[in-house]
Amino acid sequence: MLAFDRVSKIYNLKGVRKVILDDLSFVFPENRNVAIMGKNGAGKSTMMRLLAGSEPPTSGHVYRSLRVSWPLGFAGGFNGSMTGIENIRFVSRIYGQDTERVVTYVKEFAELGPSLRLPIKTYSSGMKARLAFGLSMAINFQVYLIDEITAVGDETFRKKSRAVFQEKLKSSQIIMVSHSAATIQEYCDCGLLLNAGGVTFYDEVTELITAYKSL
Amino acid sequence: MGHRHIVDLLGAGPPHVRQMTTAELLTLQIRVILSLVLRETRATFGTSSFGYIWAVITPTASVAVLVILFSMVGRHAPFGASLALFFATGILTLQFFTETSGKLMTVFDANKALLTYPIIKDVDTILARAILISATYLVIMVIFYAGLILAGMAQFPASPGQLVLVFLSTALLGLGYGTVNAVIVSLWDTWIQIEKVLTRPLFFISGIFYVPSQLPTRAQDYLQWNPILHLVEWFRIGFYPNYSSSVLDKTYPVLVGTVLLLIGLAGERLFRRTRF
């Protein structure tokens, strides 16, 4: 069960009040992959953080009875002055995983080679994304929250991540933010459209894309 | 989306969510805190071992400065034979407190990126920092006092058990005061500057370079409101075999620390939603 119950999210920054979500109630369908689309600033990433529990709503409740991943994006919670390996160890420790198993997995998956022993601040954004992606794939979640991260790396790497991803999808579901209609079409079968007027659910992903394009 | 509530959709009560047992939650929290301590250790001391050495050198230097100043004007230690020991009992205790509270003040902002991982909560980052600083000061104090003893500038502490209790009480006071400050800073960040000015006199009113009991009663009446003065006195009672204090009340700093911690934790919970 993953559900929003009368969730509102309002930011107050320097006197500017910004309503991101207004009294939204929604039960995320189980065993379906949900796309979240919308223009920049519509609140897609905020919605991901609310789903993950990284941030509390201003009012209302988020119910979560599944093992949900952290929102997988480019930035991530990596510490720049720590090496790739140290960051991997930290995340596997907090999630109670066998540290060495996760390190081995990410080493093989992310193909960062000796760079893993360098501080994260020396990484390119592509390298960081590969690390974040590999790391989350090493830990078993029931729901993966993916924020614009699938189109990472060169063709070989993409092929590999797609294969791992398809394997995961047999037992897990995803909720994905993306601007790319092709990515959405490949992974999702229904979706939410966020815009100033509110949130609309589309049972068919093609309808969602049509609506998104006409925004 | 209509205005149906999820709760209504599912019948009475919130949807069924398996609650974790207290034991499970506790294990989880301990695991997260320990991982954070390890991570903060790396972040604080950097990758070189010089970071650790530096952590010991800094407090040593501030004691040395006072010793040199007092020796130059030909003054004797206000109590006992060793200037270094007397000043250390004051300075290290005060520094332990200010380091803990100072580092905690900015904890919410410094660790914002960590909250990407929903498994980590703000309280975990507070406790992790407090544990790391306490561990650091434990090492600093052991090295420093062992050095003094080996150099013949101090005797072995008269009651080590008391020293352990003062150490824990100092940590508690720093944690409580630091948590309250962290909450205030999260609501109003100018507080960082104001707090610095407000606590600057602590160096003069905590009995660092004098024996509080030898002051006039009027002065003692005011100074005894400062919980750190009690911690310094308590530390000296534990270290010297014959130090006596007319001001010391051991329950006072513990009580202040506990009350501040409760206020701080309540504030953290109360203002959690406004922090995001």
Q: Is residue A198 part of a domain?
A: yes
Pick from B1, B32, B47: CB nearest A94:
B32
Q: Could you tell me if A194 lies within 8 Å of chain B, comparing CB atoms?
A: no
Task: Work out the average pLDDT over B246-272.
Answer: 96
Pick from A25, A71, A76: CB nearest B1:
A25
Confidence at B12, pLDDT banded by 50, 70, 90 = very low
Q: Do the chains contact at B1 and A24, CB–CB below 8 Å?
A: yes
Contacts with B76 (C-beta within 8 Å, 6 or more apart), sequence order: B83
Mapping DSSP to helix (H, G, I), strand (E, B) and coil, where does residue B154 land? coil
B56 against B187, higher pLDDT: B187
β strands within chain B, DSSP E: none
Q: Is residue A122 part of a domain?
A: yes
Q: How many CB pairs below 8 A link A and B?
A: 97
Find chain A residues with C-beta within 8 A of B118's C-beta.
Answer: 52-54, 68, 70
Pick from B18, B38, B115: CB nearest A65:
B18
Q: pTM score, two decimals?
A: 0.87
How far apart CA A194 and CA A212 sit, in angstroms, is 9
Domain of residue A51 covers 1-69+143-153+171-215
Give the domain CATH number at A62.
Answer: 3.40.50.300
Pick from A5, A56, A68: CB nearest B276:
A56
Same domain, A44 and A109: no
Give the domain ranges of chain B.
19-275
For residue A203, the distance in angstroms to the closest alpha carbon of chain B comes to 13
Same domain, A63 and A84: no
Average pLDDT of the residues of chain A = 87
Lowest mean pLDDT among A186-200, B49-63, B117-131, B260-274: B49-63
How far apart CA A127 and CA A131 sit, in angstroms, is 6
Q: Could you tell me if A62 lies within 8 Å of chain B, comparing CB atoms?
A: no
Please state the domain count of chain A: 2
Same domain, A136 and A192: no
Same domain, A52 and A82: no
Q: Is residue A14 part of a domain?
A: yes
**For residue A200, how many other CB atoms are within 10 A of its CB?**
14
Same domain, A35 and A88: no
Same domain, A212 and A186: yes
Same domain, A133 and A175: no
- Closest-CA residue of A relative to B33 is A94
Name residue A21's beta-bridge partners.
A9
Specify the pLDDT at position B174. 97
Please tell me which of A163-167, A193-197, B129-133 the model is most confident about, judged by mean pLDDT: B129-133
Angle at A127 between CA A125 and CA A129, to 5 degrees: 70
Q: Do the chains contact at A65 and B17, CB–CB below 8 Å?
A: yes
Question: CA Rg, chain B, in Å?
Answer: 22
Q: Is residue A164 part of a domain?
A: no
Mapping DSSP to helix (H, G, I), strand (E, B) and coil, where does residue A9 land? strand
Q: Is residue A165 part of a domain?
A: no
**Alpha helices in B115-210, H assignment, sequence order:** 122-150, 160-187, 191-199, 202-205
